[in-house]
Homo-oligomer: A and B are copies of this chain.
């Protein structure tokens, strides 16, 4: 029976439906220093006002505007307030020397930047401008108020998000645990670089590349990865690899063996160890996809990822197909497991500087690169076997089924920088 033909969006909807995000009880408390790339399991609320008090945005002098009604007024300097120091109330008719970030003294209602002030003999300062009430003063709580949510649950933590969390007092963060991914490749034609020299390659053998690409993709998403290597194209070996992979992992990802050819042992092996659906996604590259679950067998392993089973995704063996399928399908699952809702990559509308006169009837993901003129160039060889295209490219055009592209058309572009992190 032919697997059902699904659109990519239908396939993603089914995956999101079937895969349960980690339970709140599995959240971890980690130091804010160590939380880069993790996903917030709980919102972050501020324990302080930011700024904590009225402070100055510039180096200069704090004063009362009422004391400086014309440019050139000279005021005595009654105190000096570095950042981090306590300020006394401003004496009437005086100015306070003040430095960026320092507290504005009570009674002052403006700061004049030092470039507009001239120290004069005897400890005073001449103010060469007429200040406006409030100028260069950042008000207490202007940026963030105590108790307000600064980062919602489900946020993926960027460097600047970690800084924001720290700035509101969060020394630790509650984050989803890292998904644990087990990887293996199938295909008797695969040999390992460094193990089999080129002059000893058996007929038809090729160097495994998916093992390297998929492992790095999993790592780039901040997930733990166990690499189970290359598994022989035999049912028993594949079943054994699946059983090992199910222990202690949330998701098993395999490459190869998911098309309908009779050499493909993935489907019977996963069926024997759990359940699996074979799908045909209407995308190119990357048509076949297997999705299912593999039962865990009790007890032997410490810390199994969950009670009953590990999720299973089988991607095609072709290097470009497995890469594209990972970023389109596996990445969303890994984000969804951690509670990310907004996992859709953001597309851009850019100009095609190429022709694509014979589109496929499947939705195509064409490897392209942005050029200096702001348009997109196409890699000449769009064969699914050539990883060169995915290395040369900086993204893909998401081209609808059957749609020809003429140079000058606006197309939907997905940057790898969005898809690889």
Contact = CB atoms under 8 A, between A and B. Distances in A.
A381 B32 contact: no
Interface stretch (A193-201, A237-245, A269-277): A193-201
B52 A206 contact: yes
Interface in A88-106: 99-103
Interface string A113-154: 010000000000000000000000010000110100011000
Contact of A201 (B52, B87, B165): B52
A420 interface: yes
Contacts of A417: 415, 417-418, 421
Interface string A28-59: 00001100100000000001101111010101
A219 to B, nearest CB: 6
A257 to B, nearest CB: 10
A211 B194 CA distance: 41
A212 B165 contact: yes
Contacts of A85: 188, 203-204
Given A83-B189, A189-B84, A420-B158, A32 B212 contact: yes
A208 B213 CA distance: 38
A304 to B, nearest CB: 26
A403 interface: no
B172 A194 contact: yes
B203 A53 contact: yes
A159 B146 CA distance: 42
Q: How many copies does the complex hold?
A: 2
Contacts of A226: none
Contact of A84 (B170, B205, B350): B205
Interface string A168-212: 111110000000000000011110111100100111111111111
Interface in A304-356: 317-319, 323, 346, 348-350
Contact of A170 (B170, B193, B418): B193
A75 interface: no
Nearest to A219: B36
Interface in A243-263: 259-263
B52 A166 contact: no
A82 interface: yes
Given A86-B203, A263-B99, A211 B166 contact: yes
Contacts of A48: 198, 201, 207
A300 interface: no
A195 B198 CA distance: 58
Given A169-B207, A261-B99, A317-B100, A159 B57 contact: no
Closest 3 CB pairs of A and B: A171-B194, A84-B189, A163-B213
